[in-house]
Amino acid sequence: TMQIFMPLNFLGFVYREIRGALANIENLFTLLSKSPGVIDNQDAKPLVISKGNVRFENVSFGYGPDRQILHNVSFRVPAGNKVAIVGPSGAGKSTIIKLLFRFYNADSGEIYIDEQPVSRSTQASLRQAIGIVPQDTVLFNDSIFENIRYGNPPASDEEVYQAIEHAHLSDFINALPQGKDTKVGERGLKLSGGEKQRVAIARTILKGAPILLFDEATSSLDSQSEHAILSAFREIAVGHTSIVIAHRLSTIVDADSIIVIQDGRVVEQGNHALLLANNGPYYHLWNTQQKVNSKDV
């Protein structure tokens, strides 16, 4: 019996590990990617989050030796602030986020969270500290309710209901054929991009991480859905440090600070009014988007 029992037990362990990993990162990235061989340093310490300050100090990085993507990137996100990262496609916005999450190690420079270097922190504590709302959320073949609970598996039903409420998902869920027990995922109900992002927001609320990352969907959602997502994210961002990768500048005019990235370099930083007055790269991005928008209507 031992011989049969052991493998089954092991499979159960692997299953729980994978489920846990998925819930934490909301992304298949770490499980599937080949390159990130990032492991804890021998002297790695768990991060202790007191405020939630984030600081990039001269960070340079390339996915391979032949092409550098980020060049001496430096910026600060003071605790509790909302900072937006903007810039043309391919500029390096997602790469910045991947380094903060330590999917890769920086080639030089350092990233600090509350003045603790990310390179010398344990991966587990880092991932616990950051809640991410990705562009595309992974849904499992399970009920919508359990899909939300993945954000924090030990959460009580009551906590899951509250997260649903705060993510502005109650009306959507109540209108489903079997309500909260409706099966979603590959073999169940397919959710729209906007609905999936709200599921990710609900998961993030349950996770209760001090630092939040929001990767705005590239493709524009219908305006009602976009409004629901933005207001839900605004609510959960209160009292948190939040970093938003924005594709539509209209969604981040209220950010405390906007970091403009071009070709892997920080080319401008300031709030919306200041950057417009600068008449520089942000001003040009803004004008280009205004023109595109007015053509749409």
**C-beta closer to ligand ATP: residue 95 or 197:** 95
| Stretch of residues binding ligand ATP (CB under 6 A), selected from 8-16, 93-101, 155-163, 227-235 | 93-101
Size of the site for ligand ATP (CB under 6 A): 10
Does 69 sit near ligand ATP (CB under 6 A)? yes
The yes or no reply on residue 89 touching ligand ATP (CB under 6 A) is yes
Binding of ligand ATP by 91 (CB under 6 A): yes
Q: Which two tokens stand for residue 134?
A: 């990705």
Closest approach of ligand ATP to the CB of residue 193, in Å: 15
Q: How far is the CB of 62 from ligand ATP (least distance, A)?
A: 8
The residue within the footprint of ligand ATP, chosen from 27, 53, 95, 269 (CB under 6 A), is 95
Q: Is 13 in the site for ligand ATP (CB under 6 A)?
A: no
Q: ∠ CA(88), CA(94), CA(97), 5° rounding?
A: 135
Nearer to ligand ATP, 136 or 142 (CB): 136
Phi, psi of 8 (to 5 degrees): -65, -40
Q: Does 90 bind ligand ATP (CB under 6 A)?
A: yes
C-alpha span between 284 and 202 (Å, rounded): 35
Does position 46 bind ligand ATP by CB under 6 A?
A: no
Q: Which of 42-50, 88-96, 109-117, 221-229 is the region at the interface with ligand ATP (rule: CB under 6 A)?
A: 88-96
Where do contacts with ligand ATP occur on this chain (CB under 6 A)?
63, 69, 87, 89-95
